[in-house]
Structure 1
Amino acid sequence: MRRTNPKDETMTDAASSPVANPAGRRRGLTVIAVAVALAAAGWGGWHWFHARHRQSTDNAYVAGNVVQITPQVGGTVVAILADDNDVVKAGQPLVKLDTADAKVALDQAEAQLAQTVREVRALYAGNATLKAQVALREADLARAQADLARAQDDVNRRAPLVASGAVGKEEFQHASAQLAAVKGTLAAAQSAALAAKEQLATAQVMTEGTTVEQHPNVQRAAARVREAALALKRDELPAPMDGHVAKRAVQLGQRVQAGAPLMTVIALDKVWVDANFKEGQLADLRIGQPAELTADVYGSKVNYHGKVAGLGAGTGSAFSLLPAQNATGNWIKIVQRVPVRIALDPAELAEHPLRVGLSMEVTVDTAERGGKTLADAPRAQAVAATGVYETLDREVDERIRRIVRASLALR
């Protein structure tokens, strides 16, 4: 049996080891170098064509229109028709106040309007009476003028005959006295006619150029009815828009004042994202650039798509309650952030709803830089509008017209 020398086995293993084999070592290093070069080239290509055109931030939050529901008049709460998390439609009543006082005020205003219409009608009727008085006074004046002419003729005929004795002195004096009396009557008739005309002119000033419906007194009384009717209608607080109720603070039986916040309505289908980018990231941001977003509430499995809607006019610290005074004390530079509004896709919002205040991660593709950094034209339409209060005005106007027509129908 042949025995193996341990020394020979050791030398054989050393000769076959990669460390002792220069060719194998070079091949391994070459493979590693090629792999590193390919990885670096791939990363460089990805950065050049993709990553360098993207700006990201995780300092972003969902924002929306948080509309406070506040009463326009004071009163006692008698009904609460919506609670936290309820969905409401525009015009839907949310809170009702006690209407007793408002109804009394409205009844008084309507009664005053009806009375005022009758008083104004009396003014127009009085004009006709005054015109008749003027005609009567003018007839009296004409009669007095005729009497004066006749009396003057009598005196003129008798005056030459007095000297010849054909007419007695007493008769002539009687004719002269009659002439003087007629002159007095004529002066009184002239004064009466002038007074009647002045009275007519004064009355016409109150009615000239207007109708009963448009008379200032009627309009003033109608305004009081409108005020009382609006106060009655405002005892019911409607939702100004579609949305969800949050922060209900009102309680049944509570006495609330005008302007006190009772609850809020949030339109969750019209939210947006305020992304706070660092000032060094703003150079390539433009309005209209596409953005991809993820929400912490859904994670990376849900992606949102939006567009840059606008860049803030100042940093967050500039509009804070106590802005920093960098010109005083020891100064330390702090990187500032500017809010950038991102408009979201409504269809994606409907599929995956968001809540106001949720955290978001935003990545903006800045490859296209042909847009603007600031809006250069005024807004063409309102940011938000509601028509729920216009119906109140129409109802009040119809109520006033009905009262006026009823009062005029009594002719």
Structure 2
Amino acid sequence: MSDDVQHQPAAPADNEGAPSRPSGGSVVGKKNRKPLLIGLAVAVVVIAAAVLLYDIFIGSRSVSTDNAYVGGESAEVTPLTAGQVVEVLVTDTQPVRRGQILFRLDDKDQRISLAQAQAQVEYATRRYGQSLANNNALGAAADASAAQISSAQAKQASAQATLERAQEDYRRRAALAEGGAVSGEELTSARQALASARAAAQEAAAAVVQARANTNSARRQEEAAVALTRGTSNQTAPEILLAKAQLANAKLAMERTVVRAPIDGVIARRSIQVGQKVEAGTVAMMIVPVGQLYVDANFKEDQLGKVRSGQTAIVTSDFYGDDVKYHGRVVGFSGGTGAAFSLIPAQNATGNWIKVVQRLPVRIELDPRELKQHPLRIGLSMEAEIDLTSKD
């Protein structure tokens, strides 16, 4: 029994036959992580260097922003005379050309005013002709008055001769009456003839004075009438010019009942309907000049140090994507930032002031040919990049 126990093999130990672990495992793990850290550091340095080089050699050559929008000088269509809308020939989104009829107003009142103005021109022309005829008539009357002076003077001379003859006859008869050769009756008759001749002479003298006064009055009337027409014709007379001006005004009011497009573009915000009564100056619609649009790019203030008018720019639209590029040119800068022109400007004079980088609108003019190929609309979002190396 003891021999069997003695020759029985011993049980293997718990760790016998298991793979052995090399000593110092933690040191080996640290050695494997070290190259990774070094590679990561090198990558960071390389990326930083690449960014720095890009900023120096490429990024500093241009500035860009995606805070840009399409703008345009829209035209407001307003009737210049009041009236009822009788016809509207366009609608929103419709392209129009300059001079194209947009709508018409009722022109009955204007037609009546035009007819009155035409009649007034004819009346003024006839009145001017009448004034010329009156001038001739007044001249003839003045000449007739002048002729009456001569007649009155001849009568005065005759009356003066009669007076002298009557005076001589009276003196002779008075001398004879002292010797009794002439009767008292003859002397009385001679005295009466002398008084009558003297009265006739005075009357003839007064007639000469009256004729001269009539002539002077006729000449003054002629001069006053001629003064209104002197140096004029039926084309330059003031009353005719006034009537023609009123006629031109009536024609203009008539033309204004037909409202035409002031520019080329697309109709927007039409607000009138047939039958509506509109007043002069009422905005009936707007026209957007899609062929003359621009971009207002809002750059940060720290981007504008090297931006100058005349520099070229590349502009892309979210509407068409990066495949369509517009070539523009910087034409100017806004007079202030957007915050300065806001309804309630920011007030920074407080104790809790925080500096905020401001943006300044920069106007970029677009190429009309490119706009014609790829039309834009006001308000569309754009991305703008200005080439700082281009010449002003």
The TM-score with structure 2 as length reference comes to 0.81
Query: Are residues 1:190 and 2:198 paired?
Result: no
Distance 1:79 1:217 in 2: 38
Cα deviation, residue 132, structure 1: 0.6
Which of 54, 69, 76 is the matching residue for 1:68?
76
Query: Are residues 1:202 and 2:224 paired?
Result: yes
- Residue in 2 that maps onto 1:222: 244
Mapping of 1:6-405 within 5 angstroms?
A: 40-156=48-164, 159=167, 162-165=170-173, 168-327=190-349, 331-368=353-390, 371=392
Cα deviation, residue 357, structure 1: 0.6
SS in 1 for 2:236: coil
- Cα deviation 1:367-405 (Å, max 9, x = unaligned): 35x74xxxxxxxxxxxxxxxxxxxxxxxxxxxxxxxxxx
Cα deviation, residue 29, structure 1: 8.9
The amino acid across from 1:298 in the alignment is Y
Relative to structure 1, the CA distance from residue 291 to residue 75 in structure 2 (aligned partners, 3 Å threshold; closer, same or farther) is same
Distance 1:329 1:134 in 2: 97
The amino acid across from 2:244 in the alignment is A
The amino acid across from 2:360 in the alignment is V
- Residue in 2 that maps onto 1:377: none
SS in 2 for 1:170: helix
Cα deviation, residue 361, structure 1: 0.9
Structure 1, gaps ≥5 residues long = 372-411
SS in 1 for 2:127: helix
Relative to structure 1, the CA distance from residue 37 to residue 273 in structure 2 (aligned partners, 3 Å threshold; closer, same or farther) is same
The TM-score with structure 1 as length reference comes to 0.78
SS in 1 for 2:323: strand
Relative to structure 1, the CA distance from residue 214 to residue 327 in structure 2 (aligned partners, 3 Å threshold; closer, same or farther) is farther
Relative to structure 1, the CA distance from residue 159 to residue 337 in structure 2 (aligned partners, 3 Å threshold; closer, same or farther) is farther
The amino acid across from 1:196 in the alignment is A
The amino acid across from 2:270 in the alignment is R
Relative to structure 1, the CA distance from residue 193 to residue 366 in structure 2 (aligned partners, 3 Å threshold; closer, same or farther) is same
Sequence identity (%): 40
Distance 2:341 2:249 in 1: 39
The amino acid across from 1:338 in the alignment is L
Distance 2:309 2:98 in 1: 32
Cα deviation, residue 329, structure 1: 8.3
- Cα deviation 1:335-372 (Å, max 9, x = unaligned): 3222110011122212211111101111112235x74x
- Cα deviation 1:8-42 (Å, max 9, x = unaligned): 9x98xx9xx999799xx97x999888776665554
Distance 1:122 1:40 in 2: 100
Relative to structure 1, the CA distance from residue 65 to residue 161 in structure 2 (aligned partners, 3 Å threshold; closer, same or farther) is same
Distance 1:327 1:114 in 2: 73
Relative to structure 1, the CA distance from residue 228 to residue 280 in structure 2 (aligned partners, 3 Å threshold; closer, same or farther) is same
Structure 2, gaps ≥5 residues long = 1-16, 176-186
Distance 1:320 1:132 in 2: 80
Relative to structure 1, the CA distance from residue 226 to residue 196 in structure 2 (aligned partners, 3 Å threshold; closer, same or farther) is same
The amino acid across from 1:104 in the alignment is I
Cα deviation, residue 113, structure 1: 2.0
Cα deviation, residue 54, structure 1: 1.7
Cα deviation, residue 332, structure 1: 4.0
RMSD: 3.0
- Cα deviation 1:317-343 (Å, max 9, x = unaligned): 333344344447864443322211001
SS in 1 for 2:306: coil
The amino acid across from 1:299 in the alignment is G
SS in 1 for 2:340: helix
Distance 2:328 2:216 in 1: 83
Query: Which of the pair has more CA radius of gyration?
Result: 2
